[in-house]
């Protein structure tokens, strides 16, 4: 049975949900080593040896939403809120560009201060001053807003669907709707964005069947990027006391996502590096991942962007972070990409 499934992977036949559940259940170290080496081979074949670095700017932690798992949800009154000024953001982008980043990611809570006028102004200024690809990760907006931000110069958009289990999605998101999120992901693609989505592994209530369905969903949505990180419990949320997702299950999900999507860009996420500081990122890059998103947010704000506790490298500035991560990648025998790192799915 297992042999047949591995045979399917080696010959690049499509895996079905049942196959994925079987593989997500693997525990034997030899089986896991085989799965991971097949995922690594697939990564090499479809996206090569380059690792793409994206400088992450967490520019505001104000949020109008109340997602149950998130430390900066509006209901967390203990969160200390901050919002970077336009000038600070522009300086940070410029610092990232000088360090060598060819992509910057602007991420925030759903902050209503950043109206469409402020966002398009910011995007245009960034594109005027810096030669970088620009990714947005700012949550749900109107279709018109997405269009205007694309026209202003944004290239990519990240919006995770978090789980494809609709009941679980509704439980975790008091002010979002699953169908609406799927519609947004399709619209973003139509507008022309390179689209990233993803999930948390081990969110309370999630099963292996759900994870298998998530992986098939990545493929169905033809995503350019897929972010997969473990759920990490934050104590000032309704999920206080729940167990974290595991590093092992996150590895399996990343490996299978590589095998199923083949060309998607997959980051070794900061959440994974947080649960496995010694070698989580390195291992992820050796079983399917090909992107790292080092934090370039000014140090004085980093600790407040408290989506989950003890984010890795809070305490290191953009430059230290860049050098540490580049060194790690080169030591693995991989290359650091010096182009924009646009999606391979673009015709
Ligand atoms: N507000 C935007 C971007 C910031 S949140 C948005 O929601 O899209 C970015 C991601 O952080 C979320 O998609 C979620 O997958 C992840 N996240 C939030 N809380 C987390 C937690 N407790 N553990 C792990 N990841 C978490
Ligand atoms: Fe806000 Fe995003 Fe956190 Fe939800 S996950 S509460 S939208 S920052």
pLDDT of residue 79: 96
Residue ID of nearest Cα to ligand 2 atom 8 = 109
Q: Compute the distance between CA of residue 183 and CA of residue 178 in angstroms, rounded to an integer.
A: 9
Q: Which of 119, 136, 232, 307 to mutate to test the pocket of ligand 1 (most atoms within 8 A of CB)?
A: 307
pLDDT of 76: 98
Specify the pLDDT at position 314: 59
- 8-state DSSP, 176: -
Name the phi and psi angles at 345, rounded to 5. -85, -10
Residue closest by Cα to atom 2 of ligand 2: 109
Which residues have a Cβ under 8 Å from the Cβ of 57 and sit 6 or more positions away?
84, 89, 92, 93, 96, 104, 105, 106, 107, 296, 297
DSSP string, 136-154: EE-----HHHHHHHHHHT-
Exposure string of 23-43, with b = 16+ CB inside 10 Å and e = fewer, is bbebeeeeebebbbebbbebb
Ligand minimally distant from the alpha carbon of residue 234? 1
* Ligand sitting nearest the alpha carbon of 76: 2
Query: 224 alpha carbon to ligand 1 midpoint, in Å?
Result: 19
What's the residue count for the chain?
A: 347
Q: How far apart are CA 91 and CA 104, in angstroms?
A: 12
Rounded Cα–Cα distance for residues 311 and 302 (Å)? 9
pTM more than 0.85: yes
Q: Residue 313: its pLDDT value, please?
A: 53
First to last CA, the chain: 37
Whole-number pLDDT of residue 344: 81
Q: What is the pLDDT of residues 202-238, one digit of tens each?
A: 999 999 999 999 999 999 999 999 999 999 999 999 9
* Radius of gyration for the alpha carbons in the chain, expressed in angstroms and rounded: 19
So what's the pLDDT on residue 312? 58
Residue of 58, 60, 70, 146 to mutate, ligand 1, most atoms within 8 A of C-beta: 70
Query: Is residue 59 within 6 Å of ligand 1 at its C-beta?
Result: no
Considering every ligand atom shown, identify the ligand nearest to the alpha carbon of residue 184 and give its number: 1
Q: Of the bound ligands, which one is closest to the alpha carbon of residue 231?
A: 1
Q: What is the pLDDT of residue 346?
A: 59
Whose CA is closest to atom 6 on ligand 2?
A: 73
- Substitution site in 56, 64, 69, 73 for ligand 2 pocket (most atoms within 8 Å of beta carbon): 73
| Residues of the chain with confidence (pLDDT) below 70 | 311-314, 346-347
How many whole angstroms separate alpha carbon 326 and alpha carbon 328? 5
Query: Is the distance from the beta carbon of residue 159 to the nearest atom of ligand 1 less than 6 Å?
Result: yes
């Amino acid at each position: 049975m297992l042999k047949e499934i591995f045979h399917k992977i080696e010959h690049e036949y499509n895996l079905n949900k049942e196959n994925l559940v079987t593989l997500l259940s693997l525990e034997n170290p030899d089986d896991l080593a085989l799965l991971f080496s097949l995922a690594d081979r697939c990564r090499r074949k479809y996206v090569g040896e380059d690792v793409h670095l994206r400088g992450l700017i967490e520019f505001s932690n104000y949020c109008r939403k109340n997602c149950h798992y998130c430390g900066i949800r509006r209901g967390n009154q203990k969160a200390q809120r901050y919002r970077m000024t336009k000038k600070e953001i522009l300086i940070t982008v410029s610092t990232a560009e000088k360090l060598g980043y060819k992509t910057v990611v602007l991420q925030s809570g759903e902050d209503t201060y950043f109206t469409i006028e402020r966002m398009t102004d910011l995007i245009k200024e960034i594109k005027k001053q810096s030669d970088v690809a620009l990714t947005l990760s700012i949550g749900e907006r109107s279709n018109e807003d997405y269009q205007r931000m694309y026209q202003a110069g944004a290239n990519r958009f990240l919006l995770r669907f978090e789980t494809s289990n609709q009941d679980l999605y509704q439980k975790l998101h008091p002010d979002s709707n699953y169908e609406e999120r799927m519609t947004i992901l399709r619209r973003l693609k139509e507008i022309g964005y390179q689209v990233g989505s993803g999930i948390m592994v081990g969110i309370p209530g999630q099963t292996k069947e759900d994870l298998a369905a998530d992986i098939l969903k990545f493929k169905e949505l033809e995503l350019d990027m897929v972010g997969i990180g473990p759920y990490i419990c934050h104590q000032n949320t309704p999920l206080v006391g729940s167990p974290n997702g595991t590093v092992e299950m996150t590895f399996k999900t990343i490996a299978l996502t590589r095998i199923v999507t083949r060309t998607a860009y997959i980051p070794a996420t900061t959440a994974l590096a947080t649960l496995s500081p010694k070698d989580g990122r390195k291992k992820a890059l050796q079983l399917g991942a090909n992107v790292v998103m080092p934090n370039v947010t000014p140090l004085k704000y980093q600790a407040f962007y408290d989506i989950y506790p003890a984010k890795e490298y809070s305490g290191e500035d953009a430059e230290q972070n860049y050098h540490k991560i580049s060194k790690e990648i080169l030591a693995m025998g991989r290359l650091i990409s010096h182009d924009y790192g646009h999606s391979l799915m673009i015709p």
